[in-house]
Amino acid sequence: MKIKKINPFYFLITLLIIIAVKSDVNAYSININNKEDESRDLFIIDNETAEVFKSFNITNKDIHLMAQVVYGESRGESFDGKVAVASVILNRLISDKFPDSVSEVIYQPNAFSCITDKNIKPDQTSFDAVYKALSGYDPTSNSTFFYNPQISSSDWIYKANKKDVIKIGNHTFFKT
């Protein structure tokens, strides 16, 4: 009998999907296109927010755009603070209350003030933070909003009914 080798990555993904289906856990697949002919799937398991399996395609352009936001919004913050900003973008992407693409989430009016400067040149740490968030790490516990209380001038942000508030560095992350 010949034993066939199983790719451990695909075995893990299959196992995660089985666990998700059997325990009513929600799974998200994010497909990252590294090159035109090559891609890999990253799966995010979430117990709370959605009721169906969702799949998103994330392109290199999306990753660069996310890294620009991370750099623009969290320069000087810890690595977790940078991952938290990337996580907010992904949490909005997953949420039914926000658009269904990275660029639409980022360019939504009044979403990320830093993105008006299209010449932001993100550093490697910003890209690393995006990849960490894409791998499923979220220090915000699924927050969809954040602000810096020291510099924010938005009236809405102070009046919002904030839930699950988490402070990371100079930013406050929350859900509504």
Instruction: Assign residue 84 the CATH number of its domain.
Output: 1.10.10.2520
Looking at residue 38, its pLDDT comes to: 42
pLDDT at position 112 over 90: no
Do residues 58 and 30 touch, judged by C-beta distance below 8 A? yes
Do residues 53 and 106 touch, judged by C-beta distance below 8 A? no
Query: Is residue 167 a part of any domain in this protein?
Result: yes
Query: Is residue 44 a part of any domain in this protein?
Result: yes
Query: Is residue 2 a part of any domain in this protein?
Result: no
State how many domains the chain has: 1
Query: Is residue 121 a part of any domain in this protein?
Result: yes
Query: Is residue 1 a part of any domain in this protein?
Result: no
- Domain holding 60, by residue range, is 8-18+26-175
Mean pLDDT calculated for residue range 15-40: 46
Query: Is residue 3 a part of any domain in this protein?
Result: no
> Which tokens in the block code for residue 159?
């009046």
Looking at residue 32, its pLDDT comes to: 53
Mean pLDDT calculated for residue range 99-127: 84
